[in-house]
Amino acid sequence: MSLRLLLPEEGVTELLASWPDEPRVYDRGTAALDESVSGETIRGYLNTGCVPANEIAAIKAPYPSLSQNAYTTNGRTDRSKLARLYERGYTIRLGNLQRVVPALSRISEAIQTETGYSNYIHAFLTPPGEQGLRHHWDQQMAVIVQIAGTKRWQLWRPPVEAPMREYNESFRVWKDDFVSTWEAAGPDIELDLKAGQSLLLPRGWVHNPHVVDFDEHSIHLTFAIRERTPLWLAEKLIAGAIEHEEFRKIIRPSGIGGVGLAGHLRDTRLALVTYLHGLDVDELALVIRQAAVTELEYST
């Protein structure tokens, strides 16, 4: 099990070979994923209340997500409250299903083995003619797998370069005129993603998904793939420095607030350069490869 459960062979090849920076839509047909994860399966997680409350969001544009009190009783997921919210037009997001659904956990693990990227899986259930999240962009590649119904995706080119973690996150650099400017210009791409199709959505692309049809429910899975970066490698390179006493020595308060701070920085930089020069990079590569396929919660 791997990316081939989400994409046809040509989509997997393109993703792994070039990691596209433009959206792509593929007809996946009836892949093995659809045999084990159907619309009825996803609705079952909603209707049984099995997903932990802290992994659920209820959103109805243009308003922010509701408090957990709206869909919990005594701190636990209340399926009746969730059902009523859905009937009122709220999109229900079931988050991190790879933590609670064995089949999706196996798929997530297989994708990480294939790519070296950790990942997570969210499900979005949107009522007919409604919208959950509005315009925003994400910090990682997403594979959007439409399970049931149709969802319209309005897409705009990235307004920032290579967002990751706290850097260039949409809510951190948001401008009040973003939405009005995008809507006045119209989307760069608009597409209707149908059941049986998958969308590659590269990081940074603004998206505004919604259900147009007033008679059709939409369910899709988002496989968010946490891409590795040179910063990740840099963190791995210096991780072992803690084993060396010189990096564990205390810097006294006078050294933090006084004129000596620049000197401490110079000394530490020199020690770090010396430490890095002494590393056996070939040996470390084996350790980092193992981390790539096992590290679950890396934040892009």
Give residue 30's pLDDT band: very low, low, confident or very high (50, 70, 90): low
For residue 23, give both structure tokens.
């959206």
Gap between the Cα atoms of 218 and 151, Å rounded? 6
pTM for the structure as a whole: 0.93
How much is the average pLDDT of 204-233? 96
C-alpha to C-alpha distances, 148 to 4, 58, 141, 219, nearest whole angstrom: 19, 19, 22, 5
Gap between the Cα atoms of 28 and 197, Å rounded? 6
Least confident of 32-41, 140-149, 184-193: 32-41
Residue ranges and CATH numbers for the domains of the chain are: 3-227 (2.60.120.650), 231-294 (no CATH)
**pLDDT for residue 1 is more than 70:** no
pLDDT tens digits along 97-127: 999 999 999 999 999 999 999 999 999 999 9
pLDDT tens digits along 146-169: 999 999 999 999 999 999 988 999
Question: What spatial distance separates the first Cα and last Cα of the chain, rounded to whole Å?
Answer: 24
Give the single-character DSSP code of 68: G
Strand stretches in 110-205, DSSP E: 119-126, 141-148, 150-156, 189-194, 197-201
Give residue 224's pLDDT band: very low, low, confident or very high (50, 70, 90): very high
How much is the average pLDDT of 30-57? 87
Residues paired with 145 in a beta bridge: 198, 221
Gap between the Cα atoms of 210 and 224, Å rounded? 19
Gap between the Cα atoms of 87 and 130, Å rounded? 11
Gap between the Cα atoms of 292 and 112, Å rounded? 8
